[in-house]
Amino acid sequence: MPVSPGPGHDEPANESGLPGEGAMATGEPEPVNTATAIGGPTEFEAEKVVSNEPEPVTHQNSGLWRHDTGDSSYTDIGSPSSPCPPTKAEDDEVQREDNTNALTSVQSHRRNSKEIISFLPSSPEHPQNFSRKRKLLVFATGIMTVLNSTLGSSLPSNATVQITTHFNVTDDLQFSLPISCFLMGYVIGPILCGPLSENYGRKPIMVGAFCAYIVWTMGCAVAPTWPALLVFRLLCGIFASAPIAIVGGLYADIYGDPRSRGAAMAYFMVATTLGPIMAPIVSGFIAQSTSWRWVFGAGTFFALATLPLPIICEETYLPVLLERKARQMRKEQGRDDIIAATSLEKKSWSYVFSVVMTRPFRMLFQEAIVSCVCLYAMLVYAIFYLYFGVYPLIFLGESSVYKFSPGIAGLTFIAIMVGSMTGLPIFIWWDRFLARKQEEGAAWAKQEEYRRLPLACLGGPMFVVAIFWLGWSARADVHWIVPVLSGVPFGCAYLLIFMALLNYLSDAYLTFAASAQGMASTCRSLGGATLPIAGRRMFTNLGIAWACTLLAFVALGVAVIPFVFIRYGEKIRANSKFCQELRRIQEEEREAEKREEARQNRHEVDPGHGGDEKRRADAVAEV
């Protein structure tokens, strides 16, 4: 359905500059983000606003649809193509409403004494109809904030010796605490940031958290004691977790097409991999050349350079945008009876704490998909961050296998970076292959699980092989390039697993994606924070080869999860309360789209004030 660009839409709204948008669209009907025409769903029984009113009937007018809900007589606010002649009172209403452009993108119905508005599916103010440049800004903001966050997580990795020496820390169990404390902040932060972004909007949470992250990163650079450094790192992790928890929902806001959303999430996952891998290189060369404090100074300056992006990025969460639209219309029309559909939802503090803040936990324990994804992601993420402690045992210092300097030891992580970059073209190839099979009508290609999970089916075994490779090749009689090259399949597998699992969460839960992603982030960060603490001693006691063997067998055990989802995922989603609610709302939105298409068709048939009586009678009869 064509969308007319609104103010500031200098390019067609359906030509996104982000990967896969527009050009990657398939011929199949696009699943609609459930936060659309009604401004975001209420959450089933405890969160619905129950109404016994009859189903509203939509009427045509100049951009504002009015629904007859049974408690008010039919009113058409007299457009040029109005199917019924306006009365004198309606003429006065038209005169008032024609003085504003606020009515060009919404529909409304009356409920008691209130005019309740919601966006039309084709509204240029709808986030999924943003212009190419606007979407590109949102995309870049998500990538850069995530890159800052993940880079900060492993920033002290190759400066650990200098930091512990400065503070006279001799217990090897404490060596990994600067990274573990940061990741423990990742455990706490998403529980807060994900649900709050679904209640107050993406931008205020993102900007506020990012500014706090900058402050506490600066604090790490001037920390006077070891405990102070650890506390500052914990606070850094809490606020740095906001992009990790929110960006999945951010991209779900602006990309309705699963292929476009999946491509954006693929680049997001590359950023989450590149950040931690770049940090050891940066910290290694800085720490051996100057003070370890400049490691955190460099992180602060990088974050300050990124800060303008989240500040200028616009809000994308539809319920917040709809409430702003209602405020604008009340101000411009001098009416206080216009409210957003989302204003009918409960938003008291008791509601926020009892419903919004508990949603991630309810999804973890009630949704099998979320539970299994969290388990798999936790183990893979824990092993990934364990590598920041294992690589120094193999490559860094005189006590290691290969005795590299800090800067050169940091360069060994480049293989993981290369591997993660190779995962992106694999994702794009699979996406195109799947689209071709869908066009050909292949039965298996219509199943939702085949859109993402085969990538995890490839990445899981590859991840296991890479761990075995590292463990049994890291010996003094084997050239250093052999264990280094194990990072290529490791990085590729890590990226494929996370692209598949996190995209599957976003596709399955859409409007609730931020809560699902937030809980996934919390669980995987819990693993990343705890396993490295014991990891160094485990590798010391078992040896590099047998410690890697243990990890590989555990990873092999959870690698069956995507295969199980492919086999039973459709049944699991059919029994999911969250998915059932989303399907119900999608059906309502499709009906709204059909009504709008019918309205546009009638407008094309009768574009003027006049028109023969038969067409008017037919239009009234259709209503």
One domain for residues 307 and 433: yes
* CA 484 – CA 467 distance, rounded (Å): 12
pTM above 0.75, yes or no: no
One domain for residues 565 and 606: no
Torsion angle of C-alpha atoms 93, 94, 97, 100, degrees rounded to 10: -150
* CA 566 – CA 586 distance, rounded (Å): 23
**Count of CB atoms within 10 A of residue 369's CB?**
22
Q: What is the pLDDT of residue 621?
A: 38
Cβ(446)–Cβ(438) under 8 Å? yes
Which structural domain range is residue 531 located in? 127-316+350-575
User: Is residue 333 in a domain?
Assistant: no
* CA 230 – CA 213 distance, rounded (Å): 14
Q: At what angle do helices 359-366 and 177-200 cross, to 10 degrees?
A: 110
- 375: CATH: 1.20.1250.20
Q: What is the pLDDT of residue 383?
A: 94
The pairing of beta strand 57-59 with beta strand 65-68: antiparallel
One domain for residues 509 and 591: no
Rg (CA), the chain: 27
User: Is residue 402 in a domain?
Assistant: yes
Question: Would you state the structure tokens that stand for residue 510, as one six-digit string?
Answer: 């859409």
One domain for residues 389 and 504: yes
Q: What is the pLDDT of residue 488?
A: 96
Q: What is the pLDDT of residue 99?
A: 35
168: alpha, beta or left, given left = phi > 0 and alpha = psi -120 to 50? left
Q: What is the pLDDT of residue 56?
A: 43
Q: What is the pLDDT of residue 265?
A: 79
One domain for residues 596 and 469: no
Q: Where are the alpha helices (DSSP H) in 441-543?
A: 449-473, 481-485, 487-509, 513-542
- 277-321 pLDDT, tens digit each: 999 998 989 988 888 999 999 999 999 999 999 999 999 988 888
The 3-state DSSP class for residue 483 equals helix
Q: What is the pLDDT of residue 604?
A: 58
- 176-196 pLDDT, tens digit each: 899 999 999 988 888 788 778
One domain for residues 515 and 496: yes
Q: Is the dihedral of CA 165, 167, 173, 178 positive or negative?
A: negative
Question: At a CB cut-off of 8 Å and minimum separation 6, what does 225 contact?
Answer: 167
What is the total residue count of the chain?
A: 623
* CA 410 – CA 94 distance, rounded (Å): 68
* CA 325 – CA 338 distance, rounded (Å): 10
397: alpha, beta or left, given left = phi > 0 and alpha = psi -120 to 50? left
The CA distances from residue 226 to 166, 343, 402, 413, 459, in Å, are: 9, 48, 30, 27, 39
Closest C-alpha to 34, from 143, 111, 126:
126
- 113-138 pLDDT, tens digit each: 777 777 777 788 888 888 889 999 99
Amino acid identity for residue 492 in this structure:
C
C-alpha 466 chain-centroid distance: 28
One domain for residues 484 and 529: yes
Regions in the chain scoring below 50 on pLDDT: 1-17, 19-20, 22-103, 608-623
Q: What is the pLDDT of residue 535?
A: 84
User: Is residue 33 in a domain?
Assistant: no
Q: At what angle do helices 368-395 and 513-542 cross, to 10 degrees?
A: 40
Amino acid identity for residue 233 in this structure:
R
User: Is residue 326 in a domain?
Assistant: no
Angle at 265 between CA 264 and CA 269, to 5 degrees: 125
Q: What is the pLDDT of residue 342?
A: 65
Q: How far apart are the first and last CA of the chain?
A: 21
One domain for residues 518 and 416: yes
Q: What is the pLDDT of residue 343?
A: 67
Q: What is the pLDDT of residue 69?
A: 42
Cβ(528)–Cβ(381) under 8 Å? yes
Q: What is the pLDDT of residue 138?
A: 93
Q: What is the pLDDT of residue 18?
A: 52
One domain for residues 134 and 119: no
Question: At a CB cut-off of 8 Å and minimum separation 6, what does 227 contact?
Answer: none
Residue with tokens 């950023």: 271
What is the count of structural domains for the chain? 2
User: Is residue 448 in a domain?
Assistant: yes
Question: Would you state the structure tokens that stand for residue 137, as one six-digit string?
Answer: 């800004």
One domain for residues 114 and 207: no
User: Is residue 412 in a domain?
Assistant: yes
User: Is residue 301 in a domain?
Assistant: yes
Q: What is the pLDDT of residue 230?
A: 96
Q: What is the pLDDT of residue 262?
A: 76
- 361-382 pLDDT, tens digit each: 888 888 888 999 999 999 999 9
One domain for residues 118 and 223: no
User: Is residue 473 in a domain?
Assistant: yes
Residue with tokens 């609730």: 512
Strand arrangement, sheet containing 65-68: 57-59, 65-68, 106-111, 114-119, 338-340
Amino acid identity for residue 515 in this structure:
S
One domain for residues 593 and 523: no
